[in-house]
Amino acid sequence: MGVVWKARQKFGISDAIRTPEFALKTLINAPDSPDRSRLVLRLAREVACLDRVRHVKNITPVLEAGEDNGIAFYVMTYVQGGNLKKRLKPEANLTERSSYDIGTGGENDSCST
């Protein structure tokens, strides 16, 4: 459905100044694709779901969503880390502790394994 890019905002100032990094998700279909309206609606539902859980500590909020030059997108703060989809594959053999760490960010050591 989409692709996630690691992006940085440019302010028109020196490249030596570090600016914040963002995760930018865009749809990968062509603007004239017959599936476009369905995919844009799906992306909008994804943004709405993320907005409903923005109060959760380990969920990064959506900073902006919209469309630019026919490309639907949303932007979140970039969080360094691995690919959750790969970590949750059945063959990943997650331990109880690593499952807990994924769910909580590993900040609470009260879980006994």
For tokens 């902006």, what's the residue?
64
Per-residue pLDDT tens for 23-54?
999 987 666 778 888 889 999 999 999 999 88
Per-residue pLDDT tens for 3-26?
889 998 776 666 666 678 899 999
Q: How many other C-beta atoms lie within 10 A of the C-beta of residue 68? A: 8
**Residue 73's beta-bridge partner residues?**
26, 66
| CA distance linking residue 23 with residue 39, whole number of Å | 19
Per-residue pLDDT tens for 75-90?
998 888 776 677 677 6
Supply 95's token pair.
């331990």
pLDDT at 106 over 50: yes
Supply 30's token pair.
């062509």
93 pLDDT tier (thresholds 50, 70, 90): confident
Architecture of domain 2-104: 2-Layer Sandwich (3.30)
Q: How many other C-beta atoms lie within 10 A of the C-beta of residue 35? A: 12
21 versus 103: the higher-pLDDT residue is 21
